[in-house]
Structure 1
Amino acid sequence: MDLSADLSTGERIKVLRESRGLSRAVLAQLCNRGPDWLKKIESGERDLTNHGLLLRLAAALQIHDLSVITGHDDGPAATVPLGRLNHPGMPGIWSAVMQRTMVPRSASAFDPSIIQGRVDQSWNLWHTSQHNRTEVSALLPDLIRDAEAAVRALDGAGRRAALVALSDVYRLTGQATAYVAPAELAWVVADRALSAAQDADQPAAIAAAAWNMGNILRETSYPEEALRVVNEAADLLRPHLDGSPDDWRGIYGALQLHAAVTAAREGREGDAWRYWGKGDQVAKSLPANYVHPSTVFGRANVDFHEISVATDLWKSAKALGLADDIDPDIMPSVERRARLWVEVARGHLQRGERTAALKIMQMAQEIGAETVSYTPSARHVTAELWRTAPRAMRKEAGELAEKVGVSTG
């Protein structure tokens, strides 16, 4: 993009933000700041002289050279690191996804129910292990190859069942490789999950794959497309809900919560609470102890999302008040419990309560080490705590940063 030399730093940031379809609230959140801070930067009311914040803005805007933002190119280029996080499980998953064979195998070697059982067990591992990425990533290459082979080898009802299992495998792959997969793999995985579900012609599988696609769209700064996909999936599933299995209503509720978080991150408060309310009504229609096997939708997850929505809307007092009334142990997902405490820590940080935020983040890391290490919002909170912690807490903040893998250099 050619930017006029007459533009100020704030004006450049605004142009770049709008060209990427980012709202002010979303870009500010990626920098661990509030939307008012960014508004003042863009309007020129506040100067941006902090080099660390400049780097964060550049990375969030996917700008490789700081001079694009500052307009000053009279010195050496200031390169911005844009690389994704690394995980040792990626090469095996990449090989299974991107180098799939076209050679069919004997149909007698595959029972779709067995493959589906392996997928279900892997989803359970994802939600119960402290090291879920590492353990699930070790299982995925064989699961991907076997589910692909089953689809090619079978026909009729067996093939449709295998397609549902394959869609589930790719949804799990999307979860396990989030924030570590190259963009091309993330999109291939999301598309294959949706295509397999559509080929199976199974509404609940299509809705679940759309929920997964919505995650990719939201995290790559396409919030309107994310909302469109999950709303279309909800419309597709709604006519089938009367008399349907609980899991069909569970994924319908998960779509509503997904939309609530997407709207909240865009600063659309009314829409966010409207979607959350729909999810709340779905949870009330299900058994009190119901939990969806992959999205963990249920009463506890609805309550957890209420905190997330409040935090994303910068309603920290409301978020922390809600957190006081929640028993986190009722959530069977270790991954979701860890993310809850990250949201609570974000709420404390928004209020300038750094000591409380540090203690909460330490607890989140103990509950779900890999969830914290591989979730951008958790890493942002950790980095901010290391940078701003009170002198008495610097050692603890540094130890947390080291465990999470956040550079303190």
Structure 2
Amino acid sequence: MDFPDDLTTGQRIRLLRESRGMSREMLAAMCGRGPDWLKKIESGERPLRSNALILRLAGALQLSDASVITGAASVAQPVQQGRLHHPGMPAIWDAVMNRRLSITPPATPVDVAGLQGRIDQTWTLWHSSGQNRTEVLRLLPALIRDAEAAARTLDGQQRRAALVAVSDVYRLTGQATAYIAPGELAWVVADRALTAAQDADQPAAIAAAAWNMGNILRETSYPEEALRVVTEAADLIRPHLDEAPDDWRGIYGALQLHAAVTAARDGRSGDAWRYWGAGDQVAKSLPASYVHPSTVFGRANVDFHEVSVAVDLRTSGRALSIADDLDPDAMPSVERRARLWVEVARGHLQRGDHTAALHVMQMAHDIGAETVQFTPSALTAVTDLWQGAPRALRPQAARLAEKVGLREVG
């Protein structure tokens, strides 16, 4: 579109949105914000200073150059199209999307317990490695095919156990390919995890698969649907909790934390803290050292989520105060420790403290390089630092941007 030179950024955004037939709610959701935020941007009541949000708006409006939003006097700024790239994705695509319709029974009986053990070990690797995506993606194709073969060639209780393994491996695939998988693969993986768990008729597996489905729904801007899925799963498993193993209570608690973050990102403070409080109560009912094997729900994860909820509600003072009292080493997951520092950096950025934000983002990268490289909120923070750091810190911010692939070396 050709705009008059005197149009403001907000006026340009409104005209672009309307020309594409997009509602304000739709565009705001694609940027992880609410419609009131976008209304204020379009009216000029609120300035748009975040380069990351400008790029996000440009991507949602299908622009190749963000300067179309900011004005003709701005320097051309290419907009990255599509999802983040990882070289391990082609093999995952082949294992998931080219699933064989017939499987020759193996020469020896499938050891379902051994298969589940391999999957559990890979979950441990996901939470313990700083290069977790690369290492886990390397193992997943074989695990997917072996789990599928077991479910198709066994019967009775062995088949039910194999179906739980199928659900677990697809949940892990969903975690490892988040933000790098094409949309159609992400939905297939989430649906297969939930379908296999339902076929196994195992409430804890269904609840865990619903937790995974909720992640997909939330990250694709369907917060109401995400909340419905996880609350229905919580309702399903709740009647079993009194006599259930600790891991059933663990996944129930993880569902509460999921709902807390979903509500917080939607700006629903009361609901967010109510769900967080429910998760906190579950953690108090479990042994102090308890950690759920895949979601890492436990005391430390509840405390970490308190920071996330506060940041998502833009109460950065509360978030940073909570973080001051946390012991990061209490969390056994490298990935979650890195994500904690990302949340702390976001809190500092909300307060305009680029120096502190850069320091903790460097810590996050040192702990879990691929967590920062392949998590949009982390990349947004790095972009904000690269664009807005004080002059003395710009070389450090630029080096961090290079490490995560936002800026070419040289």
Q: Same fold (TM over 0.5)?
A: yes
- 1:86 is matched with which residue? 85
Q: Deviations over 1:139-192 (max 9, x none)?
A: 000000000000000000000000000000000000000000000000000000
- 2:12 is matched with which residue? 9
C-alpha contact (below 8 Å) 1:94/1:185 kept by paired residues = yes
C-alpha contact (below 8 Å) 2:198/2:206 kept by paired residues = yes
After TM superposition, list the pairs within 5 Å mapping 1:200-279 onto structure 2: 200-279=200-279
Provide the rounded CA distance (Å) in 2 between the counterparts of 1:258 and 1:377: 16
Question: Gaps (5+ residues) in structure 1?
Answer: 1-6, 29-34
Provide the rounded CA distance (Å) in 1 between the counterparts of 2:393 and 2:70: 38
Task: Report the CA distance between 1:395 and its aligned residue.
Answer: 1.1
Task: Report the CA distance between 1:203 and its aligned residue.
Answer: 0.3
Task: Report the CA distance between 1:245 and its aligned residue.
Answer: 0.4
TM-score in terms of structure 1 length: 0.90
Provide the rounded CA distance (Å) in 1 between the counterparts of 2:129 and 2:70: 47
Task: Report the CA distance between 1:212 and its aligned residue.
Answer: 0.2
TM-score in terms of structure 2 length: 0.89
After TM superposition, list the pairs within 5 Å mapping 1:3-402 onto structure 2: 8-12=11-15, 16=22, 18=24, 20=26, 22-23=28-29, 26-27=32-33, 38-45=38-45, 54-59=54-59, 61=60, 63-64=62-63, 80-106=79-105, 108-402=108-402
C-alpha contact (below 8 Å) 2:237/2:252 kept by paired residues = yes
Provide the rounded CA distance (Å) in 1 between the counterparts of 2:383 and 2:252: 36
Task: Report the CA distance between 1:10 and its aligned residue.
Answer: 5.0
SS of 2:85 mapped into structure 1: coil
Task: Report the CA distance between 1:106 and its aligned residue.
Answer: 2.2
C-alpha contact (below 8 Å) 1:54/1:66 kept by paired residues = no
C-alpha contact (below 8 Å) 2:31/2:53 kept by paired residues = no
Which AA in structure 2 matches 1:204? A
Provide the rounded CA distance (Å) in 1 between the counterparts of 2:158 and 2:30: 49
- Alpha carbons of structure 1 residues 334 and 62: separation in structure 2 relative to 1, 3 Å: farther
Question: Gaps (5+ residues) in structure 2?
Answer: 1-9
Q: Deviations over 1:266-300 (max 9, x none)?
A: 00000000000000000000000000000000000
Q: Deviations over 1:368-397 (max 9, x none)?
A: 011110000111111110111111111111
- Alpha carbons of structure 1 residues 250 and 49: separation in structure 2 relative to 1, 3 Å: closer
| Count of paired positions | 394
Provide the rounded CA distance (Å) in 1 between the counterparts of 2:329 and 2:70: 51
Task: Report the CA distance between 1:408 and its aligned residue.
Answer: 5.9
C-alpha contact (below 8 Å) 1:227/1:259 kept by paired residues = yes
- Alpha carbons of structure 1 residues 393 and 37: separation in structure 2 relative to 1, 3 Å: farther
- Alpha carbons of structure 1 residues 353 and 71: separation in structure 2 relative to 1, 3 Å: closer
Which AA in structure 2 matches 1:202? Q
Provide the rounded CA distance (Å) in 1 between the counterparts of 2:335 and 2:392: 30
The alignment yields a C-alpha RMSD, in angstroms, of: 2.7
Provide the rounded CA distance (Å) in 1 between the counterparts of 2:121 and 2:284: 27
- Alpha carbons of structure 1 residues 98 and 62: separation in structure 2 relative to 1, 3 Å: farther
- Alpha carbons of structure 1 residues 12 and 238: separation in structure 2 relative to 1, 3 Å: farther
C-alpha contact (below 8 Å) 1:147/1:162 kept by paired residues = yes
Provide the rounded CA distance (Å) in 2 between the counterparts of 1:281 and 1:251: 13
- Alpha carbons of structure 1 residues 306 and 50: separation in structure 2 relative to 1, 3 Å: closer
Identity of aligned residues (%): 69
